[in-house]
Chain A
Amino acid sequence: MAIIVGSGDYKYRIIENWAKLPAGWSFKEVGAVGTDKNDNVYVFNRGEHPMMVFDRQGNFLRSWGEGQYPRAHGVHMGPDDSIYLTDDGGSFVRKCRLEDGKVLLELGVPGKPAPYMSGEPFHRCTHTALSPKGEIYVSDGYGNSRVHKYSPDGKLLMSWGESGTQPGEFNIVHNICTDADGWVYVADRENHRVQVFDGNGKYEAQWNNLHRPCGMYMDFVHNPVCFIGELGPVQSVNRFVGNLGPRVSIVDHKGNLLSRFGDRLAGTEATAFLGPHGMAVDSRGDLYVGEVSWTQWPQFYPDTPRPDYIRSLQKYERVR
């Protein structure tokens, strides 16, 4: 019995238990996901094998990065068969080769965060995106309120942002993506909004009506839609209010809601989420959602031990 979620032009069939992991392996939880031009899927996770690669049927292809990534956080796919990985635990960004994870470029000093809120790169950086010219934006992050822009070869060009709630200010810069027109979209998570900037960091607009927008994905095209993973309410005053996430929202490039899925409250059912943190869409429009389910569990269920297995990745096949 197929489970269909979403609405309008963005409906999906849930593919349960999609990833076929080697026996005894675990993602633990998934920080981010990417897909390459062959629709292979790169799962950047917080288990013992930080990068696991699958084909679109979920068959395991290879792993890499063992011991090299303290806390997986962000994935961005480069146009040149490269993958940009952001590790917030290690406070670094690496551009890697797809097949084996060979490091082509490294930003930041692994294990050496800049002073907290210094504005200097990085303190628990979260994600990357590329400008139309290949310049690298880094969202930074948990311990800074900044976006940094680097040349394609890793020279720091400029930074913007500070702590606060005004336009251009941030309250946990959690994700970043770009489009083919050069606009930069920043998930300003704890301000409950996405801010839009031009390539020079000039504030252009904000999207509201979101709840803790956490993960983002956009195709690199003109006026793309944006896939947004939203975290749920975890305060004692609003944990059970409902209809606030965790969920996935699909909005147009002005932030208007097109489709949304997820149950009323957090959960482990196929239709529910715990922490939709990383998203990717392949050439067919199929969606992959990685979740930080281990981290989120105690925030929703402080008195219930975490089950041995909870889902941290699911495939959503687009229904046309």
Chain B
Amino acid sequence: MAIIVGSGDYKYRIIENWAKLPDGWSFKEVAAVGVDRNDNVYAFSRGEHPMMVFDRDGNFLRSWGEGQYPRAHGVHMGPDDSIYLTDDGGHFVRKCSLDGKVLLELGIPGTPAPYLSGEPFNRCTHTALSPNGEIYVSDGYGNAKVHKYSPDGKLLFSWGEPGSDPGQFNLVHNICTDADGWVYVADRENHRVQVFDGNGKYEAQWNNLHRPCGLCMPYAHQPVCYIGELSVNRLNANLGPRVSIVDNQGKLLSRIGDPFAGTAPTSFIGPHGLAVDSRGDLYVGEVCWTLWLGLFPGQPHPPGLRALQKYERIH
């Protein structure tokens, strides 16, 4: 019996137990996901094998990165068969080949900048690319900044400071870009997405969100945006965790998730990383271990808590 979620033009069939992991392996939890041009899926996780790669049917292809990534946080796919990984525990960004060879590194692994210094990085969270290949880094838990780097890793400039006004941030948790050069920043604890031009000039904000955490945008003109939203507890309905799909002005198009957090296929615990493949199929990675305790206080982690699910688009 197929489970269909979403509404309007964005309806999905849930594919349960999609990822076929090697025996005894676990994601623990999945911070971020990416899809390459062959629709292979890159799951950046917080288990013993930080990067596991699957084909679109969920068959395991390979793993890499063992011992190299203290705390997986962000994935962005480069146009040149590369993958940008952000590690908030290690305070670094790496551009890797799709088999994990490090091509470029930003930040000093294990050495954060001072808290709220504005210098890169203190628990950086995510990356995105400008139309010219410049690299934006959202930074993060211990800074309130977006940094812009040249394609070869030279810091060009940074913007942002703590606060709730336009251009100010309260936990810069994710970043994405479109083909027109707009920059979209998940300002998580301000409950909004802020939109900037490529020079960091504030343009707009999207509201009516609850702790927007993960962002994903197809790299196109005026793309839709897939937003993973977090909740605080399970007391009140319709405050996430959920996935919202909005148009390029932030208007809600479709929304997935039960009224309350849960482990049912139709519900979420912590939708943290999203990716969409060439067919429009959606992958949602969840930080289910980290958030379990807050949502289910006093209840031990169930074994095999779901950390990744596929949502096949119905056209």
State yes or no: do A and B come from one complex: yes
Encoded as 1 (CB less than 8 Å from any B CB) or 0, chain A from 217 to 240 comes to: 000000000000000010101101
Q: Is the CB of A211 within 8 A of B236?
A: no
Tell yes or no: A310 within 8 A of B by CB: no
Name A167's contact: one of B116, B170, B208 (CB within 8 Å).
B208
Which residues on the A side are within 8 Å of B191 (C-beta)? 165, 191-192
Q: Is the CB of A166 within 8 A of B164?
A: no
Tell yes or no: B209 within 8 A of A by CB: yes
Name B166's contact: one of A190, A191, A209, A244 (CB within 8 Å).
A209
Tell yes or no: B177 within 8 A of A by CB: no
Interface residues on A, range: 20 to 34
Q: Is the CB of B164 within 8 A of A211?
A: yes
Tell yes or no: B52 within 8 A of A by CB: no
Tell yes or no: A163 within 8 A of B by CB: yes
Tell yes or no: B7 within 8 A of A by CB: no
Given contacts A117-B237, A209-B164, contact A244 B207 (CB under 8 A): no
Alpha-carbon gap, A165 to B191, bound state (A) = 10
Residue of A whose beta carbon sits closest to that of B163:
A243
Q: Is the CB of B237 within 8 A of A164?
A: yes
Interface residues on B, range: 20 to 34
Tell yes or no: B91 within 8 A of A by CB: no
Q: Is the CB of B239 within 8 A of A164?
A: yes
Encoded as 1 (CB less than 8 Å from any A CB) or 0, chain B from 239 to 283 comes to: 100000000000010000000000000000000000000000000
Tell yes or no: A259 within 8 A of B by CB: no
What's the nearest-Cβ distance from chain B to residue A215, in Å? 16
Q: Is the CB of A241 within 8 A of B210?
A: no
Tell yes or no: B26 within 8 A of A by CB: no
Given contacts A237-B171, A238-B189, contact A117 B236 (CB under 8 A): yes
Name B209's contact: one of A163, A165, A241, A242 (CB within 8 Å).
A165
Which residues on the B side are within 8 Å of A117 (C-beta)? 236-237
> Interface of chain B, helix or strand or loop or mixed?
loop
Which residues on the B side are within 8 Å of A241 (C-beta)? 116, 144, 162, 170-171
Given contacts A192-B191, A209-B164, A238-B189, contact A169 B238 (CB under 8 A): yes
Of the listed residues A117, A171, A193, A209, the one surrounded by the most CB atoms of chain B closer than 10 A to its CB is: A209
Given contacts A241-B144, A243-B162, contact A208 B207 (CB under 8 A): yes
Which residues on the B side are within 8 Å of A166 (C-beta)? 208, 252
Q: Is the CB of B164 within 8 A of A171?
A: no
What's the nearest-Cβ distance from chain A to residue B12, in Å? 21
Alpha-carbon gap, A260 to B192, bound state (A) = 21
Tell yes or no: A206 within 8 A of B by CB: yes
Alpha-carbon gap, A208 to B168, bound state (A) = 13
Encoded as 1 (CB less than 8 Å from any B CB) or 0, chain A from 146 to 177 comes to: 00000000000000001111110101000000
What's the nearest-Cβ distance from chain B to residue A130, in Å? 28
What's the nearest-Cβ distance from chain A to residue B6, in Å? 16
Residue of A whose beta carbon sits closest to that of B207:
A208
Tell yes or no: A35 within 8 A of B by CB: no
Alpha-carbon gap, A166 to B244, bound state (A) = 12
Q: Is the CB of A165 within 8 A of B116?
A: no
Alpha-carbon gap, A190 to B239, bound state (A) = 10
Which residues on the B side are within 8 Å of A240 (C-beta)? 115-116
Tell yes or no: A145 within 8 A of B by CB: yes
Within A168-226, which residues are at the interface with B (CB < 8 Å)?
169, 171, 190-193, 206, 208-211
Given pairs A166-B208, A208-B205, A209-B165, 10 additional interface contacts (CB within 8 A): A164-B237, A165-B209, A165-B238, A167-B208, A192-B191, A240-B115, A240-B116, A241-B170, A241-B171, A243-B168
* B residues apposed to A, CB below 8 Å: 115-116, 141, 144, 161-166, 168, 170-171, 189-192, 205, 207-210, 232, 236-239, 252
